[in-house]
Structure 1
Amino acid sequence: MSHSKNEGLVREILKNNSQVENILNEFDKSETQRYRDTIFNYIKKHNTYLSFRNKLLVIQVAIPLLGSIFAIFAPSLDIWVKLLILLVYLMISLLVFWIAKVLPEDFDKFNQEVTRLKLVNLSERLASKIALFDKIFEEEPEEDIIFLKMISDCVDLDISSLTESEKNMISRCINPSSRFENSRETNITISTEKINMSKSGKEKLKQITYELSSLAQYMFGGKGYSAKLYLRISKEFENKDVELLTSFSRFPLNEGKDNGTSWIKTRGNPSIVWECLERGGYKIAHTHERPELYYDSVLAICLPGRIGILALHADQKEAFDGKMDKTTYNLLALSTRQLVLEAISEEGERE
């Protein structure tokens, strides 16, 4: 698997916006921020904060002395000249005293303050770009039936040829009166050999889960994220439609010939992924009480058109709590759907 393109994109966005921060955003700053930056640049140029503060102290002492001198020689001046000199004197005095007030006692604190202001501006710029996604995805679109049919044809699954135990489980799932104590009783493993896609198409789907699992550490913090992409398919069994969320790709990859379990639609106690698909939006679940699982938290994202689910897993407890919002959901849902459509559309063109 090649180096994550999205990781490079994150660094590029941060680099470009950081460079712009030094010039173009100056006009967006308040007067206080501009003056602070001016003072900071002067201090940085002369390379000594202590020297600057000493000069400032001398000026503060000199101001009252200059006031006394002005009072001595002022009687011989014209009234308008007096007023002009007094105005200049007051402006300089106020500026010096204001600088002395807002300037921290040491350079490190001052540097931290300037850095904080720049980080705030950088965050606002990035947020304004990301906010565009909220304009694209205002409402949950209707079910994409065309995609459902197309992706179902890509899976060569003859349910009647499965083992008796698998067929019995599917019969229970499509029986409206069935109830399940554990959603794990509704899963099935579908070999990647059953997915009729080109090697290039499969690699593109794998790249999606690779990229998103690597981006998760930037979005949610920490390490140890994995991703799985489920697409919704429909098959027929015993003259009834059977819907499955089939695992088309995952990261990290395993050494077997499958992408992990797929989930059959059923009533009663649905799996996390089916619950999310039927409800829409996203669902956060905790699984740390189930030691047989390799993750402690899961974030399920319903893809627009209800074409499938993106599932992000974390090996840390409550990894996604308090870190999801509408914009983050839109980013993950829209980008994943677009990448999936691009990978699947190439398969259609080959046919």
Structure 2
Amino acid sequence: MFIDHIRIFAKAGDGGNGAVSFRREKFVPRGGPDGGDGGKGGDVILIVDPSTDNLRQFHYDPKLIAKKGVNGGGVRKTGKGGDTVIAKVPPGTVVYKSNAVTVQEAVEFERGDEGIDLEPVADLTEYGQKFVLCKGGKGGMGNSNFATPTHRTPTESTPGEEGESGVYYLELRRIADAGLVGFPNAGKSTLLGKLSHAHPKVAAYPFTTLQPSVGVVEFGGFRRCTVADIPGLIEGAHENRGLGHEFLRHITRCRVLLFVVDIAGSEGRDPISDIQILRKEISEYDEELARFPWMIIANKMDIDGAAENLDLLEKRFPKVKVIPISAELEEGLDALKLYLDDEVGYRV
């Protein structure tokens, strides 16, 4: 099961209470106050883990609750701090805080619900990056802190502070240098498999790919880039038709968009119309995303009718880079790799 967005409830531990205690030993009848401080409550921390690729763990238990600090004791004993909860998230996780405050609201809350506001609080992209989602409460002070020359037997102490809590929305946005965008069966999965060592599922029916796959493309000379295969879009994706939002969010981090079309029209589609529809869907979803650099990969050049359609496509988009390929026969991939190296390649 691939989960790329989910709501969770997080609660840091409360601080332990300060103690009220007096030293009472034989031959020390007036030992004075010796109440210790309470321990700090545990934090709730998110950490970016390279071995985690989605948010599935939160699907089964969408709660992160840290332990409370232990109360202070006599003989100035400070209570033990509460255990911290550390949750692993994949790189590319965006954290939002919701204005929902109760557990019931957390259960009912869905992204986009009327009256629910989301405030971005963290963008976790680097391996090992840590983010304190909720801070544990400070421990209360024991009565030994309140002793003065004129107030030698204080009975005051303070309770521990309450730990932070809240309802949060986690959204995974896959990190890749380039994103393959296209309608179902355009050949994106086959292309990614030929370009890289990724092994996305390939079959001759729509929506074979139901989750983004990321492959590493090697160029030689210790240069490479990452390419994401975004599941096939359909018209109306910006309105979340066909799980449009589930797919579109993953290309918002790409540096260049690669529009893959079936140039032969083997599925009964028109390549020019496909590009126009895809560009419109991108623009309707995010105008900033529509301004990203982009080019066209004309796939399935080995099928009859491809050459004529390629000529029409290049005339319709004269200022756009078009690279004709056959992913199945691995033809034209060298030109595509050269383009990717020039645009987004980097040395490792």
TM band (smaller chain): under 0.3
TM-score under structure 2 length normalisation: 0.24
TM-score under structure 1 length normalisation: 0.24
More strand by share: 2
More helix by share: 1
> Which structure has the larger Rg?
1
